[in-house]
Structure 1
Amino acid sequence: MLQIKDLYYSIGSLEILKGVEWSVPKGKRSALIGPNGAGKTTLFRIIAGELQPDKGRISKPKNYKIGYLPQEEINIEGGVLLDSVMKACTEIYSLEKKITDLHNVLDPNPEQNQRWLQQLGEYEQRYESLGGYGLEARTQAVLSGLGFKKEDFNRDIDEFSGGWRMRVHLARMLLQEPDLLLLDEPTNHLDLASLEWLEQYLFDFPGTMIIVSHDRFFIDRLAQSIWELNHGQLEHYPGNYRYYEEEKKKRDRLLRKRWKAQVSEIKRQEDFIRRYRYEKKRAAQVQSRIKALEKTERLERPPLEKKLSFNLEAGVKSYKDVLKIQDLYFKYEKEWVLEGINLHLCRGEKIALVGENGAGKTTLIRLIAGKLKPQKGTIELGRRTKTGYYAQHQAFDLNLDSSVFDEVAHSVSTSSMPRIREALGIFQFSGDDVYKKISVLSGGEKARVSLVKILLSEMNFLIMDEPTNHLDLMSLEALEEALKVYEGSLMVISHDRFFLDKIVSRVVELKNKSLNEYAGNYSYYLGKRTFERERDLNAGRVNTKGQENGKKRKTKQQKRMEAEKRQRISKERNKLETEISGLEQRIEYLENRKKEIENIFCLEDTHRDVKTIVSLQKELGEIDKELKDSYALWEERRKSLDDLLQMKRKGPEKTE
């Protein structure tokens, strides 16, 4: 176990770490979170030995290996990709060289070889125990999982860009299997397929790991505990990211309540002292209270609760059928991108469009938005459907001579005018920023102006391509809340899986030029897709012929397949059980909160406060909806787990 005791670190007069205490549990996956500048990377560098603390100590077992993936680009020596990554396993590489050298010096005379043969046997035994004979296959698997193609294996590392070189460094670390992995934003340079592969790999990793990541879904799936670094100190939350979100709110509310109570009590005592200071009869009481106040440890004033919110208006109500796509085909020049697409969207539905890069997601939404025309098929928008389309390239369509405020004002209705400043503030344009010229804005700022224009457009069908890019956490959460209660229809593409998980109720996957639909949120889609893969794998049959040697080979192959199947079932079982446990925690929290609200409604004072009633009714409605979705998702996961266990009990299917 790694132990951090009373750790301090400063840059000049700025204290970054103030007495950090942390016992990093062995074999557990932890996430380190906190605002930008809190000191997360500094703490990582101290643990990795790159920085020395001003005070405190870090104790770890002897020969404790730490693998550190930094956020910034690092220098990596050149060389052929496959060989270079394999050489990261230094002990295996050293043993391989020793074994080769011994084979080269063996004497034809057996008597001269006895000592060397004994040494060779020891080397080979150690080499085998470390997995040396399977190192190349493992290296290829890791590189493939991280997105490298087979033709890349013989390329020189110097040919790869910075993002791919970071993947090289990550591959080396994973193969070294250190005692502790420190991963600082490991998802930054990964596409979705590589990200999902890494999640599964880390889920099965036997060592200890600490992750820093802005990817909330990644943390939620992997972290068994959350450690928040703020104001130089750590606070522990024993659960995943969703648990942290709810528990953080509870703790903040309690902290504000305790601070207010203490302030009130101090004021009461000070009033007593002031009133009776000069009365002899009360002198003892006054002195007692003065001493008590002097000994009181004053609580630090907690920050005000910051929660940005705005209403997303849908405008005129559309008819029930919002979108119908029938037998749609589209191609660029000679290559077909979409073939036989069919899709139906109803009023109020929120769906995610997912798929690999290059699958045609952006092409499909541009067709729906009327920016492209299909070669065949129909796209029909329902009556009174008004479409708002957001894509990042729309930043190029802004008027560079306009101010931020005027650019938005020119595109919204009169009824939305009073909300412009509020919306711009939520998306990081505060104070005089609203009078900046569009021409001086960065690309990200221009994208946020385009997003505000769409959100205030009062359209009842929003089509959005990566709306979460360039948003800070508070703006992102405000957008999530707005879209959750938005009464219109939504089709969205996003790499932010946590965002999709909160918003959508249906996932549409674009694969092999056609659509597959999943009636649930993103977590449901992932679980269902994994189950489908397992089902397809287990549906295979080993074709054999009647020869005896063929039967023997079949038996060996069956044993290997059965072992692989047991391993896959075990991994999937662990994943399902983790998801079910998380859902049960969430359901328990929601049910308890529902009881709290119902009890509040029973209080006489509540009925005098109309705002409180409206707020609680709204929260109760959201809880009922989330409970319904959570129950359905729990039943689906439970059924998947039962099916998996049934599959395990049945064992492998026999072949004739």
Structure 2
Amino acid sequence: MFAVSARSFLKATGLSLAFHAEPLFDGVGLTLAPGDRVALVGPNGVGKSSLLKVLAGRLSAIAGRVEYGPDARVGYFFQQVPDPGQSVGAFLREPLAELFAAEARLHELERGIESGRLSLLDEYGTLLERFETLGGWTARARVDEVSQRLGVAHLDEHTPLARVSGGEQARLMLARVLLTEPSILLLDEPTNHLDADAVAWLGDYLAAFPGALLVISHDRAFLDRVATQVVELDGIHDELQTYEGGYTAYRAEKQARWQRLLLDYEAQEKYRARLAEDIEATKGHAAATESATANDHWRRIAKKVAKKAKARERRLDRELQSARWIAEPRTRPTLTLAFPDPENDALAGLHVKQLPVMAGDRTLFELADLEIKPGARILISGPNGAGKSSLLAALAARAEPGAVAVLPQTHDGLRLETSVIDYFRSRVPVYPEDAEQILTGYLFGEEQWEAPLRALSAGELRRLLLAVAVNEGAPILMLDEPTNYLDFDSLDVVERAVRAFTGTVLVVSHDRYFAQAAGLSQEWVVRAGELDC
């Protein structure tokens, strides 16, 4: 692994960014040093991915600066390949281009020396030393191990990136980042599209990573394994909120902080109300005394009391404006989600015979006879590429029209120029006013209804697809990796909603935390060209 020095650090100060003139974050500061393993969390749409892009130098902030240590080597993972025409092999080897070029030249020199051209010995010695410095003897082993662990070793190295699936592209991107052996890793949702074995390997790799790590992830068990600190971009405070420990510790401490803040605010408000009431009573008593008597002595005393009450009122105003006065605690709105109970129980099950499960024009396996009983709650698991998503697609295609609502794994194929409300109404036939009301429950404000899909974050797109799946009203739900991209609060809501749904549920997921919370009681495993029920 690449040697990491104390000078491999990243420091950000005063970062601010806006999107369509709306501020995303303002004055954000963050420092990463070797050994730091930090999770960046927060609601969808607050700018987490944008902040990561700024830190990686892929996006310019409108204010602030990012500094790197002299030995810093930044590895940035995001799920979009730069050149779809590039081959799989060339894409993976590109970070090690110098090393493989040196290896090829060494072979040429060896052949020349063997033929008697001894003048090549000096170049050979110099190049061999460089080859060893670059870790050449273990390079191919590193490529093979990372490719195998991340499930891309089966891909033909001559295949263009455009011809592999979105999930395979994401895994290739992650493999390429790890092969650069960076000293600072910036990872945006690295566990999406990884099976359980790959997530476990990545967790072990990152837990032992000697450099600095900043990771955005929805995978709660993964964050407990990897993170030693959580920073939250909550869309309310300007500064990042910091918590020690992983996901479990973060949620417990966040709840504890909220309760303490709420108690402090309530005590403060009681004090403010008592003080304001006392001031008003004093002012009223002084005014009544002054107007009720002609005695100059008592009138002077009443005026003094009124002045003191006024002074106390000004002091209270100053306290209300002071930094130590607690503002009313605020939270962001949460997702509203409830699957309607199926209206037609007869359609709540599914029985198929002689069903081929296809990936493109290739048959992965065939189901001779499969029955899904009404009310079944099924988790579909298995390694990457085994055919889990293809199985869902095949089953959905055999179902009666309107019987199945599908949440796809990826957002591929969406017409990104379509507006949010037009896309929703194209899938759910409702009046515009009803669509607006429904979308509001899914945290889409009025300013987003006419926004194009390309303006949404991955998490916001996920919420929109959920809105469609929920409101189609089908008795069978087929959810493909439903936890991808969603923030923690939204995950809690989805888990409760799926658990409460009385119809039939099939879920492809590697998130055991979600499977348990959603009440999935049966498991199917897809592997080695077969379905194990």
* TM-score (structure 2 length as normaliser): 0.65
Change (3 A) 1:59 1:423: closer
Q: Which amino acid aligns with 2:523?
A: V
Deviations 1:451-483 (A, max 9, x none): 33437xxx6xx5534494999656654332133
In the alignment, which of 227, 231, 238 is matched to residue 227 of structure 1?
Answer: 231
CA distance in 2, matches of 1:389, 1:113: 69
**Residue of structure 2 equivalent to 1:212:** 216
CA distance in 2, matches of 1:284, 1:199: 65
Deviations 1:481-536 (A, max 9, x none): 133345x464312347353342123322133465546xxxxxxxxxxxxxxxxxxx
CA RMSD in angstroms comes to 5.5
CA distance in 1, matches of 2:64, 2:363: 63
CA distance in 2, matches of 1:218, 1:150: 25
**Residue of structure 2 equivalent to 1:134:** 138
CA drift at 1:175: 0.8
**Residue of structure 2 equivalent to 1:454:** 473
In the alignment, which of 29, 32, 50 is matched to residue 24 of structure 1?
Answer: 32
CA distance in 2, matches of 1:338, 1:82: 32
In the alignment, which of 251, 256, 260 is matched to residue 254 of structure 1?
Answer: 260
Q: Which amino acid aligns with 2:262?
A: R
Deviations 1:52-105 (A, max 9, x none): 6666555554311111234555358x7664355334136635754775687588
Contact 2:407-2:482 at 8 Å conserved across structures:
no
Deviations 1:400-421 (A, max 9, x none): 799516999xxxxxxxxxxx99
2:421 is equivalent to residue 404 of structure 1? no
Contact 1:5-1:20 at 8 Å conserved across structures:
yes
Change (3 A) 1:80 1:309: closer
**Residue of structure 2 equivalent to 1:34:** 42
**Residue of structure 1 equivalent to 2:328:** 301
Change (3 A) 1:126 1:341: farther
**Residue of structure 2 equivalent to 1:362:** 392
Contact 1:215-1:496 at 8 Å conserved across structures:
no
Q: 5+ unaligned residues in a row in structure 2: which ranges? A: 1-5, 287-301, 409-423, 450-460
Q: Point out which structure has higher relative CO (alpha carbons under 8 A, 6+ apart).
A: 2
**Residue of structure 2 equivalent to 1:481:** 496
CA drift at 1:227: 1.3
CA distance in 1, matches of 2:393, 2:117: 73
**Residue of structure 2 equivalent to 1:500:** 515
Deviations 1:245-292 (A, max 9, x none): 444334334333333333333333333344446653696787477447
Alignment of 1:589-608 (within 5 A): none
CA drift at 1:133: 1.7
Q: Which amino acid aligns with 2:34?
A: K
CA distance in 2, matches of 1:22, 1:167: 28
In the alignment, which of 7, 17, 29 is matched to residue 14 of structure 2?
Answer: 7
In the alignment, which of 176, 182, 207 is matched to residue 180 of structure 2?
Answer: 176
Alignment of 1:312-461 (within 5 A): 330-331=355-356, 337-338=365-366, 350-355=377-382, 356-358=385-387, 361-362=391-392, 365=395, 371=400, 389-391=404-406, 403-404=429-430, 426-427=441-442, 448-449=467-468, 451-454=470-473
CA distance in 2, matches of 1:467, 1:240: 22
In the alignment, which of 264, 274, 282 is matched to residue 268 of structure 1?
Answer: 274
CA distance in 2, matches of 1:471, 1:79: 27
Contact 2:342-2:503 at 8 Å conserved across structures:
no
The SS at the match of 1:454 is coil
CA distance in 2, matches of 1:163, 1:448: 23
CA distance in 1, matches of 2:62, 2:340: 53
2:513 is equivalent to residue 511 of structure 1? no
Change (3 A) 1:282 1:126: farther
Change (3 A) 1:180 1:444: closer
Aligned length in residues: 465
The SS at the match of 2:473 is helix
**Residue of structure 1 equivalent to 2:456:** none
Q: Which amino acid aligns with 1:361?
A: L
CA distance in 2, matches of 1:444, 1:62: 41
CA distance in 2, matches of 1:124, 1:401: 62
Contact 2:195-2:510 at 8 Å conserved across structures:
no
CA distance in 2, matches of 1:67, 1:24: 13
Change (3 A) 1:30 1:505: farther
Contact 1:28-1:207 at 8 Å conserved across structures:
yes
CA drift at 1:240: 3.1
CA distance in 1, matches of 2:532, 2:217: 30
CA drift at 1:234: 0.6
**Residue of structure 2 equivalent to 1:491:** 505
Change (3 A) 1:86 1:449: closer
CA distance in 2, matches of 1:152, 1:208: 33
CA drift at 1:349: 6.4
Q: Which amino acid aligns with 1:353?
A: I
Deviations 1:113-141 (A, max 9, x none): 99x39x82x76456346431221232234
Determine which structure has the larger helix proportion and give its number. 1
